[in-house]
Amino acid sequence: MTIRSTELNVGDKLPCFTKTMTQDKMDLFESVARLAVEPDQRAAPPVNIHTDAARAKELGLTRPIASGQMSFAYLNELLSRAFGIDFRQGGQLSVTFLKPVYDGDTVTAHGVVQEKKTINGLANLRLQVWLENQEAVKTCVGEAEVIIPSPLT
Amino acid sequence: MSTNNAAYEQITIDEQLGHLEYVVTEEQLKLLQASVEYPEAYYPHIAVKEYLEVLRRKHGPISFISAKHKDHYYHPPIPNKRVQVTGWVRDKYERRGRNWLLVETLAIDEDGREIVRSEHTFLIGGVEKKRE
């Protein structure tokens, strides 16, 4: 259910949710993360730091890490759940990846309204967003912007 | 990591990385949605890793880790429509003794609808042990 901009004020939090990372999800995500490769290349399972322990160790990691793009997708979900089409058409999301997310980790998506302005009759919201793991450590942090209603809708 | 640095040194700011074309199928979208457990995930990650492959083919081996990503969404891709992505090197710089690369991409579908403009920052090389 989307939120009406009039319901949100600076300091308000978006509804949180938690995801558990698994190697199966990481493998599946990687299998669809290379859309521009040829179909015959796509058939081969990707071998990279997200799917293969040896490749991860080559880069100094202890084991495969989830793609930062999965964390990005979770924060996209946080904002899409809250703002629906206004975020999907016109929204912006910028995320810095801080800590690895591993198979077995749980991450909780958080968002809080940082700024609210009305420009030309449209609500402009700026939010802080982040993922926190089971040890309450932030694994990524970011900022989002959404205009309600979006001029693109 | 000399091989990484050698390839990295050859990369130039504003270097064009060419066009990539593909079609997002309904099946791919469903797999993406299953992998992130969200049936309304409509934006696949468009041609981020493919451009690293372009750079590797052009300049040699580069290992990298994603450091930052930014998307500005316009319209979700419509399944089975052709998508063209244009990519270029927006910036490269050294910070805290590490090399960084910023690649920008713009995805447009066959009808000229803008889909997403993205910026992706890569940390070249591996992680430092203290971060593990």
Domain range summary for chain A, segments of one domain joined by +: 1-20+66-153, 22-65
Chain segment A14-35, per-residue pLDDT in tens: 999 999 999 999 999 988 876 6
pLDDT per residue as tens digits for the range A85-108: 999 999 999 999 999 999 999 999
Cβ contact, residue pair A94, B76, below 8 Å? no
Minimal C-alpha gap between A7 and chain B (Å): 23
Instruction: Provide the domain count of chain B.
Output: 1
- Are the C-beta atoms of A90 and A111 separated by less than 8 Å? no
- pLDDT of B5 strictly over 80: no
Give every strand in the sheet of A122-133, ordered side by side.
A17-20, A106-119, A122-133, A138-148, A92-97, B64-73, B114-124, B98-109, B82-95, B16-23
DSSP assignment of A35-96: TTS-HHHHTSPP-STTT-HHHHHHTT-SS----HHHHHHHHHHHHHHHHTHHHHTT-EEEEE
pLDDT band, very low/low/confident/very high, at B131 (cuts 50, 70, 90):
very low
Q: Residue B64 sits in a domain of what CATH number? A: 3.10.129.10
Q: Which residues of B touch A28 (CB under 8 A)?
A: 31, 34-35
Q: C-alpha angle A84/A112/B76, rounded to 5°?
A: 25
pLDDT for position B57: 81
Alpha helices in B1-132 (DSSP H): 2-10, 26-35, 49-59
Cβ contacts below 8 Å, chain A against chain B, sum to: 122
pTM of the model: 0.91
For helices B2-10 and B49-59, the axis angle rounded to 10 degrees is 90
Contact B50 A34 (CB under 8 A): yes
Query: Domain range spanning residue B10?
Result: 2-131
Query: What CATH code would you report for A1-20+66-153?
Result: 3.10.129.10
CA A136 to chain centre: 17
Rg (CA), chain B: 16
- Quick check: A29 and B41 CB within 8 A? no
